[in-house]
Amino acid sequence: MPFDETVSTFPEHREPLLITLSSQGKNSRLVPEPFDAGDLDDLRPAEHLPVLPDISEVETIRHFTRLSRLNFGIDQGMYPLGSCTMKHNPKISEEILSRFAAIHPADRRAMQIILSSIHTLAGFLQEICGMDACSLWPAAGAHGELTGMMIIKKAVKAVGQDRTTVLVPDTAHGTNPASCSIAGFITKNIPSGPEGFVTASLVQKHLDGDVAALMLTNPNTLGIFEQEISRIATILHENGSYLYMDGANLNAIMGISRPGDMGVDCMHVNLHKTFGAPHGGGGPGGGPVLVKKTLERFLPVPRLERDSSGLFHLSLHYPDSIGMVHSTLGNVGVLIKALTYLLSVGPDGIRKAAATACLNANYLKKKLRETFDLPYDTPTLHEFVLSDRKQKDAGITTMDIAKMLMDAGFHPPTVHFPLVVPGALMIEPTETEPLRELQRFTDAMERIAEMCRSGPGSVRNRPQSTPVTRVDEVHAARNLVLTWKDAESIGSEQVSK
């Protein structure tokens, strides 16, 4: 482990924009022959061609390979970012998607293959979640939350009520209150119980005629199963309120227990977490929303329908729908990848993935709980939260530990979240990691703790083996510099017709 010496193997390197490398005639690749698309009344050629770089294949590959070396990804090493489920992205999904990518949206026959595939995916998700209907279009988790809250808003209005409050526990993802606000609700924060989960009696205290819903993540961001969820659902329903579940942590329970059976009315899943599509780097993601029968008529349009001849089509004829939330078919590539994942691992596979994810996390927790502070001792599933309390006296904080891990070849865990734990380190290894890698991680953590005791000075100013070493986060946040270049203006200088 390269802790003992100062190494910086990366020269100062600024990667140019592709557009600045452009020169006429470099791109000699052939464009596919047009197919007969039949009647194309609705489609017209673009009036202005976009400015695209004219560049050879090898330059393109080198550009992206160089960029990837400046980055850290799951293909390089363990990425235990809590509540993000950074699992392996199976390469078969890329391979299968590449076949689908050749289908043009105007090719109606070929599009049947896409529509029937995503219809199959919707059915799988409904079965896994125990829900009745699904909209595949939301582009990611927070978008799914917003869609779900808009559905609940509309459902409340539909019965002539004007409920404005949504309850959100203090362990929630920050996107939960944001989604509530954008959907027009007022968020009321409720504390979770002393053991790290929300209790029914606590929810009861906050219930009144103004509460439209409770947003609950299960298991929550402490990795703890919300064991009173069914009772909570019952008292919410008695109050005329809905239960929304943030499905961000579905990886811990898929194939084992179903949110629909717990009384959840509306939820989203993250295809880029739970179902193996790539995650991070700004997307694209997939955040399908699932509902019970009572909320189905409010789902976004278009709705995917199958006629008597077995053909699929998209329908806008749903007068109670909240409307469109994305251009047609959402991030369809992500949907195909999620379907590929599900078909390749099968029902037993997802159950095994969930069990292994929980086992891996509990292995790490057991190994690390003596050396690091474990603020909640309630049994956990796929992730757990440590704190820097035992290292703080030596002047070492969570941020130092996280940065140090980078020098050992790991992506840091989620830090300073959930907010209920000061100095939180939230660790989620996922089912991806083999035992050897888990051991390498605990070795690194033990070594860091040892260095905190013996020579805390050597822990600061890390990392040193990464392309960018320790950054001054305070300076960066206080003196924000946005860099932006207009492709058109660069293009007009560099790109010839």
Partner 1 sequence: MVIPEDLLYTKDHEWGRREDTSLRVGISDYAQSELGDIVFVELEKMGTRVRPGEKIGTVESVKAVSEIFSPVSGAIIEVNDSLEQSPEMINTDCYGDAWMVLIAMDDPTETAHLMGAQAYRDYLEAEAK
Nearer to partner 1, 381 or 399 (CB): 399
Contact 217, 173 (CB under 8 A): yes
Beta-bridge partner residues of 239: none
**Least CB distance from residue 460 to partner 1, whole Å?**
15
CA 23 to chain centre: 38
Closest CB to partner 1 among residues 136, 167: 167
Residues in contact with partner 1, shown as a per-residue x/- string from 228 to 247 under the rule CB under 8 A: --------------------
Helices 175-182 and 141-158 pack at an angle, to 10 degrees, of 40
- Closest approach, Cβ 263 to partner 1, in A, equals 30
Structure-derived torsion over alpha carbons of residues 382, 334, 119, 108, reported in degrees to the nearest 10: 180
DSSP, residue by residue, 234-262? HHHHHTT-EEEEEETTGGGTTTT--GGGG
- The yes or no reply on residue 470 touching partner 1 (CB under 8 A) is no
Residue with Cβ nearer partner 1 (351 or 416): 416
3-state secondary structure of 209: coil
* 348 vs 473, beta carbon nearer partner 1: 473
Report in angstroms how near the CB of residue 253 gets to partner 1 at its nearest.
Answer: 28
Q: Which of 186, 324, 419, 435 binds partner 1 (CB under 8 A)?
A: 419
- Residue 353, CA distances (Å) to 82, 148, 415 in order: 16, 27, 25
Q: Which of 43, 46, 468, 474 binds partner 1 (CB under 8 A)?
A: 474
Closest-CA residue to 463 (of 66, 7, 81): 7
Interacting residue with partner 1 among 206, 351, 416, 447 (CB under 8 A): 416
CA distance between the termini of the chain: 52
- Binding partner 1 (rule: CB under 8 A), the pick from 478, 481, 483, 486 is 478
CB of 395 to partner 1, least distance (A): 13
CA distance 300 to 303: 7
Of residues 111-140, those binding partner 1 (CB under 8 A) = none
What are the distances in angstroms from CA 183 to CA 134, 144, 147, 165, 236?
Answer: 19, 12, 8, 11, 20
Quick one: how far is CA 382 from the chain centroid?
Answer: 15
Instruction: Please tell me whether residue 477 binds partner 1 under the rule CB under 8 A.
Output: yes
Placement of tokens 């949504």 in the chain: 166
Nearer to partner 1, 12 or 473 (CB): 473
DSSP string, 419-465: TTSTTEEEE--TTT--HHHHHHHHHHHHHHHHHHHH-GGGTTT---S
* Cβ-based nearer residue to partner 1, 123 or 422: 422
How far apart are the C-alpha atoms of 145 and 182, rounded to whole Å?
Answer: 10
Question: With binding defined as CB under 8 A, does residue 108 bind partner 1?
Answer: no
Q: Which of residues 390-409 bind partner 1 (CB under 8 A)?
A: 399
Task: Tell me if 462 sits within 8 A of 404, measured CB to CB.
Answer: yes
Nearer to partner 1, 187 or 362 (CB): 187
Name the packing angle between helices 398-407 and 435-454 (round to 10°). 120
User: Per the structure block, which two tokens stand in for 384?
Assistant: 């757990």
Rank residues 95 and 393 by Cβ distance to partner 1 and give the closer one: 393
Nearer to partner 1, 2 or 422 (CB): 422
Which residues, numbered 37-66, are part of the site for partner 1 (CB under 8 A)? none
Q: Which of 72, 185, 298, 417 binds partner 1 (CB under 8 A)?
A: 417
Selected range binding partner 1 among 128-136, 140-148, 318-326, 417-425, rule: CB under 8 A:
417-425
Interface mask (CB under 8 A) for partner 1, residues 157-176, using x and -?
-----------------x--
Tell me how long the chain is. 497
* Token pair 């939301």 in the structure block, residue: 138
# chain residues binding partner 1, by CB under 8 A: 11
Binding window for partner 1 (CB under 8 A); candidates: 87-95, 107-115, 255-263, 413-421: 413-421
Return the residue of 38, 209, 346, 422 that touches partner 1, per CB under 8 A: 422
Provide the minimum distance between the beta carbon of 372 and partner 1 in the complex, in angstroms, as a whole number.
Answer: 17
Torsion sign, CA atoms 235, 238, 244, 250:
positive
Regarding 482 and contact with partner 1 (CB under 8 A), the answer is no
**Residue 82 token pair:** 């809590």
- In terms of Cα–Cα distance, which of 454, 464, 475 is closest to 404? 464
By beta-carbon proximity to partner 1, the closer residue of 326 and 416 is 416
For partner 1, give the closer residue by CB, 189 or 492: 189
Task: Give the interface with partner 1 as residue ranges (CB under 8 A).
Answer: 174, 399, 415-417, 419, 422, 473-474, 477-478
